[in-house]
Amino acid sequence: MKNIAKFGISALMVFGVLTVESSTSSSLTALNTVCVNKQTGSMRYLLKNSKQVCGKNEVKLIWNQAGVAGVAGVAGVAGVAGVAGVAGVAGVAGVAGATGATGAKGATGATGAGGSDGADGSDGADGSDGADGTNGASTNSQIKNICGVNGTTACAVGLQGPGGGIVFMTPSTLGNTSGLFYEAAPSTWNSSSGDPTSAWCNNTFSLLGVGSTVTGTGAMDGAAKSTVMLGVCTSGAANLADAYTRTVSGVVYGDWFLPSKGELNQMYGNRVAIGGFSSDTYWSSSEYDGNFAWSQCFNDGFQCRNYKSATLYVRPVRAL
């Protein structure tokens, strides 16, 4: 502690409380006592329990015990907040907690679009039979083999048949392989002017599979051949024959068809008994190939092939 000079009565020192007094101040209990020269600031210790005193040009200093702490000063203004530090690495995820209780049931959603139809179920049990219907008109299948104008005579060639035609073939007729009676429609079946003409079929190039190969003969199967033709032809000789119906004594006969080659040949043989034929050519339902079908000339009985597009005469027949 050097150069201490020209100061007041008391001064605070760094390491304790330093009391500076004049030589006439009262004594204080102290740890150490020193004299400080007022001019030079030099110090000298006074020995304990000695009778030494400071001179007139000195100031007596006493190192005393620590005094009572002073009142705390006013807190200074807070400094500016520092920049936030970098976020730390996320910790490891904790163990999943237990499942919570089931929440309340939500409101019913809107109806979804309808699904596709399911497979059909099995058939149910048959229902009970309905009441019997009223009797219908008699059909040609109910009356057979009874001929003549009054329908009282057994059928024979030249008699009027049940359908109003003329019988031209019986089961005993030579060449009849069907065992049936046949009648040909009257010449006025289509109009009073006689038999109409037509192409064989509007489909003139397709093979229908109703062929016959031997001239003058053939199966008695005109009904079956006509059915095949009707499945393909939208117009033609078979369509004309099929469209014909006749009502006799309240019975409707609608099972007329275009005769096969064999049936047409039997018609030629009994052409006078039947009556009303042209001397020209008539169609049969027998096919020759994809382009031709069988026909028969009624002036000489010659059977020949003709283009399916040719316009020839048509006469329907029916079997009893």
DSSP-assigned states of every residue in 126-192: PPPPPPPPPP---BGGGS-SEETTTT-EE--TTSBPTTSSEEEE-TTSTT--S---EEEPPTTSS-T
Mean pLDDT of 180-207: 94
Where helices occur in the chain by DSSP H, the ranges are 222-232, 237-243, 261-269, 271-274
Query: How does pLDDT run across 231-255, given as a tens digit for each residue?
Result: 999 999 999 999 999 999 899 999 9
Q: How confident is the model at residue 33 (pLDDT cuts 50, 70, 90)?
A: confident
pLDDT of residue 43: 86
The whole-chain average pLDDT of the chain stands at 80
Residue 206: the pLDDT is: 83
Position 186 scores a pLDDT of 96
pLDDT value for 235: 96
Rounded distance, CA 219 to CA 275, Å?
24
What is the pLDDT at residue 66?
Answer: 53
pLDDT at 121: 73
Is 9's pLDDT higher than 60?
no
Q: Which two tokens stand for residue 105?
A: 């049931």
pLDDT at residue 3, rounded to an integer: 45
Band of pLDDT at residue 303, cut at 50, 70 and 90: very high
pLDDT higher than 60, residue 48: yes
Amino acid at 279: S
The confidence band for 313, taking pLDDT boundaries of 50, 70 and 90, is very high
Band (27; pLDDT cuts 50, 70, 90):
very low
Residue 72's pLDDT is what? 76
Segment 250-292, tens digit of pLDDT: 999 999 999 999 999 999 999 999 999 999 999 999 999 989 9
pLDDT tens digits along 103-130: 788 788 788 787 777 787 787 787 777 6
What's this model's pTM, rounded to 2 decimal places? Answer: 0.55
